Amino acid sequence: MPFILLVSMKYCPVSPHKIEYLQPRKMKQILPFLFFMSLSMSSFGFQAFDWKIEQGQIMLNKHANDQKAQAYWTFITDLLPDRLLDKYVAKFTLWSDGPEEDLAGFAPLNEFNTEWHLDVDTVDFDIKNQNEMARLDAIYTLIHEYGHLLTLNPEQIQITDDEYQDDDRGYLTNEGYAETGSYLGEFVNAFWNDHLLLEWDDIDPIKSEKRRSKKIEQFYYQHQEYFLSGYSAESPEEDIAESWTFFVLCDRPTIDEYRLEKIKFFYQFPELIEARSYIRKNIEFIPKDFLSYFKENFEDY
């Protein structure tokens, strides 16, 4: 049984926003945002090993790392609901880029989002490590990354060749349109108004990673009351993944605070309440006030 975690928070309906007066938002190139994809060896010197996944089952390769891969895959499938894992995950990778770097990630393997890849850094995510904070960090990351699979799979995103956003179709992601009725589409309509999107659109295309990170940090501090974490300000896609994670790990909010509305947003979907319950029952330890715990122990800014 995985050793895992939970907190508290409100849905504030906001009328859907269209962004007709904004500069057209160009669609980024549709490429899998895998951390290493073509690497056979990371910069840390740890070889990447891949396994095929078929309907939620790991296909072992008959080599020395099979036992480790099976242990990691079992940990993950014990934690996360199986429907999307069984349907979409086609590849599993163990690798490392060194300590305190990328921990894990879900990403599409093709432009149709029909096959997904999960990679895990075995240095940052050591399932044998009994340190409470390290394990909570790993579990938090897995739930967050599962949020991308949850909100960007083909059931949620309409594939398109559009390079610029058609406001009538919804919010344009790297993967396609988050249309009205999709989790991300409804989330953007509720929490990313025209002015917030316009401000973010000016920052997102910045090519310098250092400069963009600085601008995102400033954006976060200017609108801190809107976001549950600093990373939420990275994009609407990261915002919903972070909010989903706090929905899973936190108790339902009982106070009126705008950023906490993002947690209650998910309570309108019975299937997500069920997914939340599934994950939480597999978590052995959850701090009583996880949001405060997160801010104190994990938040970068």
What tens digit of pLDDT does each residue of 170-186 get? Answer: 999 988 999 889 999 99
| 58 part of a folded domain | yes
Task: Please report, as a single letter, which amino acid is at residue 116.
Answer: W
| 213 part of a folded domain | no
Mean of pLDDT values over 254-276? 97
| 33 part of a folded domain | no
Nearest to 164 by CA among 9, 261, 19: 19
| 29 part of a folded domain | no
Report the chain's mean pLDDT, rounded to a whole number.
83
Q: Residues 6 or more apart from 201 whose CB is under 8 A from it?
A: 22, 23, 25
What whole-number distance in Å separates Cα of residue 76 and Cα of residue 260? 28
| 214 part of a folded domain | no
What the block records as the tokens of 187 is 């989330």
Q: Quick check: 207 pLDDT over 90?
A: yes
Q: Quick check: 40 pLDDT over 80?
A: no
Polymer length in residues for the chain:
301
Q: Say if pTM beats, i.e. exceeds, 0.85.
A: no
Mean of pLDDT values over 108-112? 93
Within 13 A of 274's CA, how many CA atoms are on the CB side? 6
Which domain does 128 fall in, by range? Answer: 46-143
| 104 part of a folded domain | yes
Domain count, the chain: 1
Task: Please report, as a single letter, which amino acid is at residue 66.
Answer: D
For residue 58, the model assigns a pLDDT of: 97
pLDDT in tens, 75-94: 999 999 999 999 999 999 99
| 88 part of a folded domain | yes
| 203 part of a folded domain | no
| Residue 12 pLDDT class (50, 70, 90 cuts) | very low
For residue 126, the model assigns a pLDDT of: 87
Mean of pLDDT values over 37-60? 73
| Residue 300 pLDDT class (50, 70, 90 cuts) | low
Instruction: Give the residue with greater pLDDT, 292 vs 234.
Output: 234
